Amino acid sequence: MSTFEASGPDQYINRAIYAVDPRATRGRLKAESCSPTRTDFQRDRDRIIHSTAFRRLAHKTQVFVPHEGDHYRTRLTHTIEVGQIARALSRALGLDEDLAEALALSHDLGHTPFGHTGEDALEERMAGWGGFDHNAQALRIVTRLERRYADFDGLNLAWETLEGLVKHNGPLLSAAGAPLEKYRRKGVPLAILEYDAIHALELSTFASAEAQAAAIADDVAYNAHDIDDGLRNGLFAFEDLRDVDFARDLIAEIDARYPNLEKPRRINEFVRRIITRFVEDVIVESQARIAAHAPESAVDVRAAPRAMVAFSSAMAAADVAIKGFLYPRMYRHERVMRVRREASAVVTRLFDRFVERPGDMPGEWRAAAEAILAAPGGDARFHRLVCDYIAGMTDRYALAEHRRLFGEAPELR
């Protein structure tokens, strides 16, 4: 790792040669003067934190709808936990912590009310109009939908931040331009392709190591906190976790050191050990991959044949085992599924109502809908407008709109 000195906000930062250097950013779509006190990535992080979409995460579901209890994760508390882990990984690996944090804080901006339930409902309703993808929606938010600045729509984030937001889970296209992974069947979302056409994000390469750190921090965070929330909600018990080798070893370690520990402390000891084990594994595995590949710049990281920040094979297997445990016992638990069915109906009914009667949307949304419908060939843009309006709702606002329009709303318990 190399150390550099610079005047201004970078003066005391130690950064590896393969990290993204904010002094060498590829810039913003709309040029802006530099800040005398903050790097571009610090400015991006601050813009994300002050955005309307970020504040809304406080009232968007992670797994349990917020009014089920004050201590369950929301999208906001999940996002904060991801940010903390991303910074820890970046610090250990000599990366730009501010860029990693900006990406961690923005990774869920495109999520709908009621978590993945709302996303599935909008995907179904938008099937004939370009579909719905929360990652593409996050890009729409930071490039178009946020309206905070006099000079531009969106947040006008730096290229590296946008690249990481779109590609944090890996390349979207092959070198030949064919969609990869989850986009193989339906193609890359139009919002991403449209933006890429005016500000190319190199969709066939990996993102920066900072983006990779933010992505794997997301996996670590929700593995840990979903187990935490599931135990506290009574969806499964510690004894059930013994079916997972990784978890069984941690439970044995805790019980040997702290016999007869009360349940809340036992849960906390378990959860913090999950995070510690995963984080330490990522650091060791990533250092080994970096040493083997020897990238000399962030460009080399993007061009590498595999991710530089990753789990070891053993911990990747533990990650799969945890997800395999949680899927039937938590994500598909009947109590959770009952709420999901009711929440899906709320989103679907709202979408259909606004498509049929756009005048029921408030103020500027209604005016925008009327302008689109008055122009020829506006059907796709109109449906996308309705989708944008609903996707931006919080859980409680969606329920309030349903109550306003239909006279009632489910309790979602």
Which residue do the tokens 């994760």 mark? 73
Q: Give residue limits of the domains in the chain.
A: 209-332, 335-406
Q: What is the pLDDT of residues 311-334, one digit of tens each?
A: 999 999 999 999 999 999 998 899
Structure-block tokens of residue 355: 């498509």
Percentage of the chain modeled with pLDDT above 90: 86
Q: What is the pLDDT of residues 38-87, one digit of tens each?
A: 999 999 999 999 999 999 999 988 765 444 556 678 899 999 999 999 99
d(CA 279, CA 282): 5
Percentage of the chain modeled with pLDDT above 70: 95
Task: Report CA torsion sign: 124, 355, 349, 222.
Answer: positive
Q: What is the pLDDT of residue 2?
A: 33
User: Nearest Cα to 181, choosing from 128, 213, 135?
Assistant: 135
User: Nearest Cα to 109, choosing from 34, 154, 56, 64?
Assistant: 56
d(CA 209, CA 215): 10
User: Nearest Cα to 189, choosing from 116, 113, 138?
Assistant: 138
Q: What is the pLDDT of residues 124-154, one digit of tens each?
A: 999 999 999 999 999 999 999 999 999 999 9
CB 172 within 8 A of CB 142: no
d(CA 294, CA 292): 6
Written as one string, the DSSP assignment of 19-75 is: S--GGG---BSS--PPPSSS-HHHHHHHHHHTSHHHHHGGGSBSSS-GGG-TTS-BH
Q: What is the pLDDT of residues 261-294, one digit of tens each?
A: 999 999 999 999 999 999 999 999 999 999 999 9
Structure-block tokens of residue 297: 């710049």
Contacts of 182 (CB under 8 A, 6+ apart): none
Q: What is the pLDDT of residue 13?
A: 56
Structure-block tokens of residue 168: 């944090």
Is it the case that residue 336 has pLDDT exceeding 50? yes
Cα radius of gyration (the chain): 22
Task: Report CA torsion sign: 152, 201, 93, 321.
Answer: positive
Amino acid symbol at 164: G
Q: What is the pLDDT of residues 156-183, one digit of tens each?
A: 999 999 999 999 999 999 999 999 988 9
Task: Report CA torsion sign: 283, 289, 294, 295.
Answer: negative
Mean pLDDT of the chain: 93
